[in-house]
Amino acid sequence: MAARRLFHRFVLSFGLGTALIVAPGADAQDAKNLGDGIPTPEQYVQSAGGDSRVLPPGQFKLDGRRQLCGQRPTVIDNKLDDYGAAYPGFIIMNPRYLSKVSTPVKQWIYAHECGHQFRGPDEETADCFAVQRGRRQGWLTHEGLDEVCSFISPAKGDAMHFSGSYRCAYMRKCYEDPTIK
């Protein structure tokens, strides 16, 4: 199972109570084949199957709003066991889950995964990145932040994801941070 754990280590899940995800069908042998454990978007899609597909940067939209994360492509995976996830180099979004939440929450999820691209695996840092980006770009109001907070409130803390209320308090602090433009 060591190889499997290694594989998991590179998967940064949004994590609402669920643990780290792994591409469906991936096993220790896949992880070994992937070398450093980081698949390309194409390898991920091949492994996930179904109607999963890769969208080039600038092609992914949430409620008609174009989402950008530098030059990172977005992988659509309706079978992902979470709303979103990130591998270094690309973002995974699950439209089936995302259709259940409001526009600001959707955008916050995307921005959180984008935060992992630029700021690394730390969850608090990705949360902070997301709300400050939302404030700067104008899509996250105080009301929207409230929606995000109620969205994550049932989330149980685990090793990677702090409890929802803790994350929320930290995000509010980040959102209000006057030193950040």
- According to CB under 5 A, which residues from 81 to 100 bind Zn ion? none
Tell me the β-bridge partners of 86.
Answer: 12, 91
Residue (30 or 123) nearer to Zn ion, CB: 123
Q: Which amino acid is at 70?
A: G
Residue 114 has phi, psi (to 5 degrees) of -65, -35
Q: CA-CA distance, 128 to 87, in Å (whole number)? A: 19
- Tell me the closest approach of the beta carbon of residue 121 to Zn ion, in angstroms: 8
Kindly state the smallest distance separating residue 62's Cβ from Zn ion, in Å.
Answer: 17
Q: How far apart are CB 178 and Zn ion at their closest, in Å? A: 26
In the complex, least distance from residue 112 CB atom to Zn ion, rounded to whole angstroms:
6
Give long-range contacts, CB 8 A cutoff, 24+ apart: 58-67: 60/91, 60/93, 60/110, 62/98, 62/103, 62/106, 62/107, 62/110, 63/103, 63/106, 65/103, 65/107, 65/139, 67/107, 67/110
Which stretch, 24-32, 49-57, 125-133, 143-151, contacts Zn ion (CB under 5 A)? 125-133
| Amino acid identity for residue 171 in this structure | M
Q: Which stretch binds Zn ion (CB under 5 A): 18-26, 67-75, 115-123, 173-181?
A: 115-123
Please say which residue, 30 or 113, places its beta carbon nearer to Zn ion. 113
CA 167 to chain centre: 15
Please count the other Cβ atoms lying within 10 Å of the Cβ belonging to residue 56.
11
Contact window for Zn ion (CB under 5 A) among 61-69, 94-102, 118-126, 141-149: 118-126
Please work out the total of residues on this chain that contact Zn ion, with binding judged by CB under 5 A: 2
CA distance 73 to 54: 7
Taking the least distance from each CB to Zn ion, the nearer of 126 and 128 is 126
Q: Which is nearer to Zn ion, 160 or 180 (CB)?
A: 160
Minimum distance of Zn ion from residue 29's CB (angstroms):
27
Of 112 and 135, nearer to Zn ion (C-beta) is: 112
Per CB under 5 A, residues contacting Zn ion are 123, 126
